[in-house]
Structure 1
Amino acid sequence: MSILEAILQGIVQGLTEFLPVSSSGHVSLVQHFLGVDLEGAQTFTLFLHFGTLLAVFLVYRKLIWDLICEGCRAIADLFLDIVDLFRKGKGKFKPRFTLKMDRINDDRRMVFAVILASACAILLFLPLFGGLGLTDTAGEEVKTLADVSGYTSEDRDIVVEGICLLGTGVLLLAATSIANRRRNSAVKARGYVDYKTAAVMGVGQCFAAMPGLSRSGTTTTLGMICGTEKNAALQFSFIMSIPAVLAANVLEVVKMDSAGWAEFEAVPTILGIVVAAVSGVLAIAGLKWIVSNDKLNYFGYYCLVVGAIIVAIGIAEHASGVYGADFFRVLFGGEVAQPVAGPNPNFQL
């Protein structure tokens, strides 16, 4: 991978990870049209996520530290309650620890909500009912939602990315409409994420593993739809991403075999991580302004337009049997350097 390709993918990852347009979808499309080797690209993309995680830590470092401290205090309260229960008995026991959101402070509310949202990540690894009858490039059967995400990222079919971008666009426009109606009504949005909303946002984060479905866009809009104030929903969306994204990427690094490490290129990867972190910080600042000024609908229109274009290109690629950069060479009268196989046998309209 060249330095220029690493910088370009780092910028795309950093900006689109936080802007509500899907980082995985855009990085997948960039790799598709640049003709980047998919095995090497998967390793590189995996490490880019550490750059965007670094951006979240940099922007929310004080809040993250406060949440860690509050989580430790909650554990201490629970431990002291257990000790007091045995010492004083049930009659004289006055608990310090409670799960009731109306009786705890803002930091503890967020800690409990993040734990619940993160627990929803188990949905990624539950077997899909009936299976899909698909196998990935390693010959493994696609059984779970996590497998589906990996399968759609590593094949040449960009139609899925296009459809997911259309879904992101619909969600963004729906959330903007609901927020506008709520602002003009007597019903006020909550200033924090409750348990029900945390669960809904957690489930949304699982489905946002699909390339083309924006994680930040999906979770923030679901929070707004469930009645959470827009800035509170956005902040929670960033914080809830830390445990799930960190755990998923550390697990992938641990699982990497010798072939995966053979594709690892130190200089482009480190450069990509740094670029992703810097562009990620800028994207977070931009998204805060966008949400505060009710501009999410513009990204909704963007996702609808780009999604429709990608679906059209994907269908044309399948019809011609020519993919990625070669498709545009042929489209403008050039020749294919390396003939490729026909359409994906698993593709169906």
Structure 2
Amino acid sequence: MAEDIATPIILGIVEGVTEYLPVSSTGHLILATELLGYNAEKWALFNIAIQPGAILAILVLYWRTFWAVLIGMMKAERHAFAFVINLLLAFIPAVVLGLAFGDVIELLLENAVVVAWALIIGGFAILWVERIARPRHAGGIADVGARTSLLIGLVQCIAMIPGVSRSGATILGAMAFGVERRTAAEFSFFLAVPTLSGATALQLYKHGAELTNDDMQAIGIGFVVSFIVALLVVKGFVAVVSRIGFAPFAWYRIVAGAAALVWLGMR
């Protein structure tokens, strides 16, 4: 896996930039391995194993929120329990479907053509949801409600298809159910913590024995790089979507997916 230091740095940057944007980090990592001539199967585990770097970025950026929830639960505050319950309800569908269809998902992780088409279709989906969404919910994550949280979790499962985008699916799902943009984005950030942690733990449990010392070194580099880059990207992303919405990301997906299809067809 660790062919040189540049590879984990490049893939770490891709992970950090794309994990929380609605453009699909997994899809971009797959396309990056294809574009740069890497062995996609060889780097598939690396791409998942560096996700905790992006998770840590959320924990650092929103540490006050997590701390307030923890203190609130110790004081038995309804708001704190509602926050946790909503995230758990949104997380449950991913657990069930991830365990049921894990092998099928792993096969899709090696298919760059699926990624390209998913980018294009997802781009048009973003434009459509932006057009029809009518935000009704003006509170925080604790106020989203159990039913809406579960529905958001079901929509998130579509992102098991590489190229769909986990963050994109959860954000657009939340908006479609009446949640305003900023809260939808933050719901996606917080939901990433259990979702990505679970996916990483499952893959390391299944394939961790295959890792060498060089592999672990590469994962460590990718982890640090993705953490630093994600820190910078998340703050800017929230500011952008609060002002102008998700349309720029939609058009990017459409152009990137079309370009990828052309390039893959010409190889």
Alignment of 1:285-304 (within 5 A): 285-304=235-254
The answer to whether the 8 Å contact 1:39/1:263 transfers is no
C-alpha distance in 1 between matches for 2:208 and 2:249: 38
Structure 1 residue 238 displacement after superposition = 0.8
- 2:61 corresponds, among 48, 59, 62, to 59
1:164 maps onto 2:114 in alignment:
no
TM-score, normalised on structure 1?
0.69
Q: When the two structures are aligned, how many residues end up with a matched partner?
A: 262
CA 1:311–1:263: 2 relative to 1, 3 Å:
farther
C-alpha distance in 2 between matches for 1:62 and 1:72: 15
Alignment of 1:1-349 (within 5 A): 1-74=3-76, 104-105=78-79, 107-125=80-98, 127=100, 144=101, 146-154=102-110, 157-179=111-133, 182=134, 188-191=136-139, 192-258=143-209, 260-262=210-212, 264-314=214-264, 316=265, 327=267
C-alpha distance in 2 between matches for 1:6 and 1:195: 39
Structure 1 residue 109 displacement after superposition = 2.2
Q: One-letter code of the match for 1:109?
A: A
Larger Rg: 1
The answer to whether the 8 Å contact 1:71/1:111 transfers is no
Q: One-letter code of the match for 2:57?
A: A
Structure 1 residue 38 displacement after superposition = 3.0
**Greater displacement, 197-206 / 5-14:** 197-206
C-alpha distance in 2 between matches for 1:190 and 1:26: 33
Q: Secondary structure at the match of 2:144?
A: coil
The answer to whether the 8 Å contact 2:18/2:24 transfers is yes
Describe the superposition over 1:42-76 as per-residue Cα deviations: whole angstroms up to 9, x where unpaired.
232122101111111111111122223334555xx
Q: One-letter code of the match for 2:90?
A: A
Q: Secondary structure at the match of 2:42?
A: helix
Q: Secondary structure at the match of 1:227?
A: coil
C-alpha distance in 2 between matches for 1:197 and 1:39: 37
Q: One-letter code of the match for 2:4?
A: S
Structure 1 residue 251 displacement after superposition = 2.2
The answer to whether the 8 Å contact 2:90/2:149 transfers is yes
C-alpha distance in 1 between matches for 2:196 and 2:99: 18
Structure 1 residue 275 displacement after superposition = 0.8
Percent of counterpart pairs with the same letter?
Answer: 31
TM-score, normalised on structure 2?
0.89
Instruction: Flag the structure with more relative contact order, 1 or 2, with Cα contacts below 8 A and sequence separation at least 6.
Output: 2
Alignment root-mean-square deviation, CA: 2.1
C-alpha distance in 2 between matches for 1:72 and 1:167: 44
Q: One-letter code of the match for 1:164?
A: A
| Structure with a larger share of its residues in helix | 2
Unaligned runs of 5+ in 2: none
The answer to whether the 8 Å contact 1:44/1:264 transfers is no
Unaligned runs of 5+ in 1: 78-103, 128-143, 318-326, 328-349
CA 1:120–1:275: 2 relative to 1, 3 Å:
same
Describe the superposition over 1:140-170 as per-residue Cα deviations: whole angstroms up to 9, x where unpaired.
xxxx2x323211112xx32100111123212
C-alpha distance in 2 between matches for 1:200 and 1:170: 21
The answer to whether the 8 Å contact 1:51/1:276 transfers is yes
